[in-house]
Amino acid sequence: MILSIASGKGGTGKTTVAVNMALSLKDVQLLDCDVEEPNVHLLLPHETNEEKPVYVSTPQVNEELCDHCGKCSEFCEFNALFVTPEKVLFFPELCHSCGGCLLVCPKNAITEKNVQIGVVKKGAAEGMELVYGELNVGEPMSIPVIREVKKQIRSNKTVIIDSPPGASCPVIESVHGSDYCLLVSEPTPFGLHDLRIMVKILEALGIPFGVVINRAGIGDRKIYDFCEEKGVPILFEIPFQREIAELYSRGIPFVVDMPEWKRTFQLLMDDIKGCMES
């Protein structure tokens, strides 16, 4: 199955849940789709055995062939091309690499050029396969790198996807196609606010989901009331505990020093399968 971990809000503990769950299960493939700031590999001693560059296609305009008719800029929904009577201006940060401008150009004045925007890395860590992407600094489009990370999914394994924070296109691309999504939240006003948004997104996508409460014991009970009202299952809680925080600050997944938690994550997976069957 494919299990994605999301939250909406950053810093709620998505990576904590993803890594500790992966270490508690067998035959796992762990994907880090937070390609702007991947950190799963920082918590897992690993060896990188493969790197694959990620390219996107961008238009190149031959001004000698171009008659500045403006059809390319009219077609582009993202305003990546602006045509003046003397010159065509291209804004690469707005381009979505759809290739439509090539198709509509009546003079065949546009060709494509591949530009590297990031890299996908594969390795082995603690008996599992680890895949993560890195978006080049300054690049605005993370989705092509996320797609390349997800192309590495192996259907014969339990796949755990660590999604980026927020509730925009990169998150939707990361969770799309998942069999189940775990929403990691915290009992604070900010945690509840972003959980509400992610619940709406997953309902629209038709992906079944449940909630994990991290740092349980702080804040208030409003997030519990919301889940009860919406009928969203709270599958388990991670307490606000100093030992867990200290281990994370040293880059150590807490199931390594607290192995009794492995059984908790195994039971969590059983609960997820039960939710999917019901």
DSSP string, 228-247: HHHT--EEEEEE--HHHHHH
State the Cα–Cα distance between residues 112 and 93, nearest whole angstrom. 15
pTM score = 0.92
Question: For residue 25, what pLDDT is reported?
Answer: 95
For domain 55-115, the CATH class is alpha beta
| pLDDT tens digit at each of 278 positions of the chain | 999 999 988 889 999 999 999 999 999 999 999 999 999 999 998 888 899 999 999 999 999 999 999 999 999 999 999 999 999 999 999 999 999 999 999 999 999 999 999 999 999 988 899 999 999 999 999 999 999 999 999 999 999 999 999 899 999 999 999 999 999 999 999 999 999 999 999 999 999 999 999 999 888 899 999 999 999 999 999 999 999 999 999 999 999 999 999 999 999 999 898 877 76
C-alpha dist (Å) from residue 3 to 52, 91, 159:
24, 37, 6
Write the pLDDT tens digit of every residue in 163-220.
Answer: 999 899 999 999 999 999 999 999 999 999 999 999 999 999 999 999 999 999 888 8
Q: With residue 78 as reference, give the H or E element that holds it.
A: none
Location of each CATH 3.40.50.300 domain in the chain = 2-45+126-277
Q: At what angle do helices 189-205 and 222-230 cross, to 10 degrees?
A: 20
Token pair of 247, please?
């281990």
Question: For residue 172, what pLDDT is reported?
Answer: 96
Question: For residue 230, what pLDDT is reported?
Answer: 94
CA dihedral (233, 236, 240, 244) in degrees, to 10, reads -140
Burial group, residue 195, by CB count within 10 angstroms (0-12, 13-18, 19+): buried
Q: Are strands 180-185 and 2-6 parallel, antiparallel or unpaired?
A: parallel
Question: For residue 127, what pLDDT is reported?
Answer: 85
Per CATH, the number for 2-45+126-277 is 3.40.50.300
Location of each CATH 3.30.70.20 domain in the chain = 55-115
CA angle in degrees (0–180, nearest 5) for 22-25-31: 30
